[in-house]
Amino acid sequence: MNHQATPEASGNEVPQAALTVQPAETPASLGQDAKYCPLCPGWYRLRDVKAKAPDGSITEATKVILPVFSGDRTRRLFRTARADGQLTRSQRADIAAQNYHLECPRRHSLVNSQEPTAVVGVIGNVNSSKSHFIAGLVYELIHEQRLAAYGADVGYIGDTGAVMDQRIDTVYRKGEILPNTERNQIDGPFTYRLTRDASTVAESKTVLTFFDVAGEDCVGLARSAEFVRYLFGATGIILLIDPDGLPFPGRPLEPRGDVPLATRAIIDNLADAMAAVTGTPSREQPQIISITIAKADIADLPADVWPPKLLESSPEHPPSTSEARAALKSYSDACRTAFRAIGGQAIISAAETRFDPRNVFYSAISATNQIPLEGRWCGARPSGCSIPLAEILWFGESL
C-alpha cells in the first residue's frame, strides 16, 4: 500500500531549499508535466520531482519517466524535456528496470504513474467506523470488483497493496477489530488505479487516493481546517454518519447510550473549514458530498435501501453513463428519505443549504454487516461500501 508518512514522522529532514518549491493548487499553470502530491497537497513540475534508484542515486523525474506515444506521434500521453526518439529501446529498458521511486520536494512518496488523480476524503462522527469502511471499500473494489457493474475496475499500483491487504486480513479473515484513527491524525493516503470503460478503446485510468480523518477532528473549526487542507482539490468527500448517534425522531437531543449525537454541526464545521481554507463559499465548491449511513445493518431501513442491490450484478453490457447516473440518483433519493426517517433531517437540511444540493448524495453501507461478538467479527463481509465512491466518481467528473 502506498502508505505515506510525513518527513517528520519518517525521521527525514527536508532541506530548506526544497521548501522554497511550493506546490500549485491546480496543474493549469504547469502544463502537462505536472505531478500531484496528496500530502502537500498540490502539483509540482516534473523537474522538481526527484527519482530515487534502489542504489540510492537520485535524478530528476524528467530523466526517468518514459514518454508513451500513440500511432500518431504528435499525441503524447505526457511530455518530457527529451526530444522524440532520443532514447533507444535498450535505453528505455534500462531505465524501466531501475524501478525508480518518486518523491516530491518535501520527500513525500509519489505514485510512479502519470494518470490524473482523484482525491476522496473519508470523515465522520465518532464511532462511524471509518477505518473499517475503507477496508470494506477496498475489499469490494479489489476482491469483489463491484464497479464492474458500471464498466470499471480497480487495481493496485505497483506494490502499493501491502498495508490495506493487512487490514483486510485483520478484519475479514482474522475477525479482529481495527483501532480508531488517533485524534489529530490523518490516515493514508491509500492509492489505487481506477480503470473506466474497461476492455474498450475508450478505456481511461485515474489514480484514486483515499484519506481517513479522525472523527473527533470534525467538531472544531481549527482542527477541521487542518484536515480540510488535504481536501481542497478533492473530487469528493464521504461523510459517514453512525445511526446510533442520531436523535430519536420525535425525541430530539436524547443520545443513545454513550454515543455522541450526530447533529448538523458536523456539516457546518466542514463547510466553514472548507470556506476558510479555499476562500470560496462551500455552496460554490464543486466537491461531491456523499452522506453515508454507516452500520446500516443496525438501522431500521426500508427494503429498497437495505441491503443494497445496486452494483451487485455484473452485466455483460454495463449501463451508459446516463443510465448509471440515473440508477445512482434513484438510490440516493431513497436513502435520503430513509435517512430523514431515522433522525437525519437536520443533517440533510444543513448539507443541502451549505453545499450545492446538486452535489449532495446519500447512501447506506456496512463494513461488516454485523456487530462484534465478544470483541471479534464472525464471518464479516462489507455491503454497499463502493456506492458512495460510485456517486463521487460518476457525478464528480465529466465522463
CA dihedral of 63, 161, 214, 144, whole degrees rounded to 10: 130
> What mean pLDDT do residues 375-399 have?
88
Neighbouring residues of 81: CB distance < 8 A, sequence distance ≥ 6 = 47, 62
Radius of gyration from C-alpha coordinates of the chain = 22
Residue 1, pLDDT above cutoff 60: no
Region for 133 from its dihedrals, namely left if φ exceeds 0, alpha if ψ lies in -120 to 50, beta otherwise: alpha
Strand, helix or coil at 217? Answer: helix
Is 130 in contact with 243 (CB distance < 8 Å)? no
Higher pLDDT, 95 or 146: 146
What's the pTM?
Answer: 0.81
Q: What is the pLDDT of residue 32?
A: 62
Written as nine digits, the cell of 361 is 448524495
Which ranges of 174-248 would DSSP assign to H, the alpha helix?
Answer: 221-228
The answer to whether the CB of 171 falls within 8 A of the CB of 379 is no
197 pLDDT more than 70: yes
pLDDT of res. 75: 41
The order of strands in the sheet holding 236-241 is 152-155, 186-196, 204-213, 117-124, 236-241, 288-293, 360-364
Quote the pLDDT of residue 137. Answer: 93
Could you give the CA distance from residue 235 to residue 274 in angstroms, rounded to a whole number? Answer: 13
Task: Tell which CATH classification among 3.40.50, 1.10.10, 1.50.10, 1.10.3470 matches the domain 117-396.
Answer: 3.40.50
pLDDT at 9: 40
DSSP tag of 244: G
Q: Give the C-alpha separation, 203 to 206, whole Å.
A: 10
What is the Cα 271 distance to its own chain's centre?
Answer: 18
Give the HSE-up count for residue 234: Cα atoms under 13 Å, Cβ half-sphere.
28
Closest alpha carbon to 363 in 279, 239, 223: 239
Cα–Cα distance for residue pair 50/63, rounded to 1 Å: 10
Tell me how far apart the terminal alpha carbons of the chain are, to the nearest angstrom: 28
Is residue 352 scored above 80 in pLDDT? yes
Domain with CATH 3.40.50 in the chain: 117-396
pLDDT in the model for residue 187? 63
